[in-house]
Amino acid sequence: MKKVTAYTDGACKGNPGKGGWAFVIVNDQNQIAAKRNGFKSDTTNNEMELTAISQLLQLLYIKGTVDRDITIYSDSQYAINCITSWGPNWSPSDWSKKKNAELINDCLGQLHILKTSNKIQFEYVKGHSGNQGNELVDKLANEAILRGS
């Protein structure tokens, strides 16, 4: 697999509340090559969206595939913008929206570094629009919430 194609999603019951994240990697024949999901008891939807991307990139890094062209499909414009547009304007010491505020998301700095040091393209896909990859990660993220409850 020379090119990596993946879908990511995060979900939350309550915001903040119980959350789940998921990703799938599909091969050139559009078959699932890998999938993961996880749960966090007290989180936000945005944190779960970013966690899904972070977990995906960590797996790709461990497998040694981060040097390949990677396309990540996400239904979160927030997550995509944090990594591609807004992140470059924030310094690592100021990942918050305003002074003395909580960090936006702990993994944001890591994601920005991985994005800028690798060939990663983000594509927005509208959620719940029938896209098979997006529907699958949505299902997996919500299953993680049910398991973790």
pLDDT of residue 126: 94
In sequence order, what are the residues at sequence separation of 6 or more whose Cβ sits closer than 8 angstroms to the Cβ of residue 116?
88
Instruction: Report which residue type is found at 53.
Output: I
pLDDT of residue 66: 61
Of 10, 6, 7, residue with least CA distance to 141: 10
10-35 average pLDDT score = 94
Give the global pTM.
Answer: 0.84
CA distances from 108 to 44, 50, 117 (A): 14, 7, 14
Q: Write down the CATH number for the domain with range 3-148.
A: 3.30.420.10
76-88 average pLDDT score = 82
pLDDT of residue 103: 46
Q: Confidence band (pLDDT; 50, 70, 90) for 112?
A: low
Of 8, 65, 12, residue with least CA distance to 37: 8
Q: Flag whether pLDDT at 67 surpasses 80.
A: no
pLDDT of residue 18: 97
Q: Confidence band (pLDDT; 50, 70, 90) for 28?
A: confident
Burial of 49 (0-12, 13-18, 19+ CB in 10 A): buried
CB 54 within 8 A of CB 60: no
- Torsion-angle region of residue 128: left (phi > 0), alpha (psi -120 to 50) or beta? left
